[in-house]
Structure 1
Amino acid sequence: MTALLVEDEELAVRKLQKLLNDVAPALTITGITAGIEDTVEWLENRRLSGLPEPDLIFLDIELADGQSFEIFERTPVRSTVIFTTSYDEYALQAFKVNSIDYLLKPVQRDDLERSLQKYEALRGRSATNDPVRNIEKLVQQLQRQSLRDYRQRFLVRQGQRLLSIEVSEIAYFYTEERYSFFTTHRGQKFLVDYTLDELAESLDPGQFFRINRSVLITHQSVDQIQSYFGNRLVLQLRPAFDKEALVSREKVSDFKTWMGK
């Protein structure tokens, strides 16, 4: 099995090389590129030389010279692709397809093993799981996601006035007696006319994480993290939150990743 690594961060390249050597010692890294231009050139030179394309491409989404989707527009890619990305896992769940996967950076050993196992399983399937078609499908979906406009501000009422509050000013959202509220970093509390489901859908998942059914937080709002019974976590938020901010058991792993595990 052979692989091309497309990554513009030297530390990330070294870590991925080490993980691959540990997890799949039989895999041969045939090339390392750092951007769109040199990746396109590498693939086309390989093709012109009559050399086989790598079995796998580990492809970072955000490269120094742009988003790696452009590679697919400029040259055919016949290899199976595993995206590496700093995007939050919640935002990418919809984009998993049969023949490829993604790894959330920093890449973890268990995630890498899962992706390679998935590749081996898919390699044995019929031609109906065409990797090229699946890659094109994922690229289109990821492009739509990258172009998506997340909510930037909320219009709220304060007495007889209407105020426009920037999302960057918000510390967390929560529900209380079927109503939704948010608290700003300055401690102001406002009512919003949206459910928490609607809020979670409209906000950037890289900035907001839903820790349970009734609380949606930002990184900046997390003051302390402590273990809690039932394999859960309890958070101390800032500004102070007058209820328990519990990370539900099924969200603990994703929460740790989101916080930068």
Structure 2
Amino acid sequence: MKVLIIEDEELAVRKLQKTLQSVDAGAEVVGITDSIRASVKWLQDNKAPDLILMDIELADGQSFEIFDKVEVNSTVIFTTSYDEYALKAFKVNSVDYLLKPVQKEDLEAALDKYRKMKQLLSATDAPANINVDNLVKELQQRLQTKEFRKRFLVKQGQKLVSVEVDDIAYFYSDGRVNFFKTNDNRKFIVDYTMDELEEMLDPARYFRISRSFYVSIQSVDQIHDYFGNRLLLNLLPAVDKEAIISREKVSDFKKWMGK
């Protein structure tokens, strides 16, 4: 299966490639584009791939514009942080619609749906029509059940307390144990890895700046240039280790802060 990825965030591209490879080792990424203009040119200059993983919000507009500028003969799986585009997405060659961050099981289910649809159409020589109503109903059901973490149950002395995610300023690791600090400067141990937390937290509100730090947008007080093309954050409340944004995440962090 040949795949084109249309995505303007480098971190999202890398994560999508990794997830795709873990789901289908035989999938070949034949191209990566980051804008409407580049995507149109790629599609004009190359043979249509079997599948396109397409982000809806690109730097130069919404990717729906691609369909107005060039004929797209591939099946499309849309990825986005916003569910408002669902109906419009299914009016083009879409087999599914995945919300970011794209989960392995969701991509696996979408690819399985794509393969089954392809087999069915090949067996019947039918035109590649998609039942929009059924897909929209399925999407609505998924959106209604998909939720980010709302609270954490943690130890405080000899008792357990429930802490609302809204009250958490940031998560960090000392290399052995993971913690979070609340907005009122309380510190708790959290029994999840940083990778697990990345799947639990709303990406519109929390950003992983490095392997050992996950910050909320309200905790960022000041941003400073740091050597090695990195950034150093001053966080509120104050943290007892440096909050440094790794070089490969600087661009995505700036986009996140500017939304």
Gaps of 5+ in 2: 1-34, 41-66, 73-79, 108-121
Separation of aligned partners in 2, 1:92 and 1:211: 18
2:101 maps to: 91
2:86 maps to: 69
1:208 lines up with 2:218 in the alignment: no
Q: 1:77 to 1:250 in 2, by over 3 A?
A: same
Deviations 1:17-39 (A, max 9, x none): xx989xx9xxxxxxxxxxxxxxx
CA contact (8 A) 1:156 1:165 kept: yes
Q: 2:239 aligns with which of 221, 241, 249?
A: 241
Deviations 1:111-133 (A, max 9, x none): xxxxxxxxxxxxxxxxx9x9976
1:197 maps to: 195
Identity of aligned residues (%): 48
CA contact (8 A) 1:80 1:132 kept: no
The runs of 4+ residues in structure 1 deviating greater than 6 Å are: 93-96, 130-133, 138-143
State the TM-score, normalizing by the size of structure 1. 0.52
State the TM-score, normalizing by the size of structure 2. 0.53
Deviations 1:36-92 (A, max 9, x none): xxxxxxxxxxxxxxxxx9468xxx9868xxx332356xxx724689x9xxx8xx625
CA contact (8 A) 2:219 2:235 kept: yes
Q: 1:145 to 1:200 in 2, by over 3 A?
A: farther
Counterparts of residues 93-242 of structure 1 (less than 5 Å): 144=142, 147-242=145-240
CA contact (8 A) 1:181 1:190 kept: yes
Q: CA deviation at 1:163?
A: 0.7
User: Amino acid of the residue matched to residue 91 of structure 1?
Assistant: P
Separation of aligned partners in 2, 1:163 and 1:259: 31
Alpha-carbon RMSD:
4.4
Separation of aligned partners in 2, 1:93 and 1:131: 26
The alignment covers a number of residue pairs equal to 174
**Secondary structure of the corresponding residue to residue 91 of structure 1:** coil
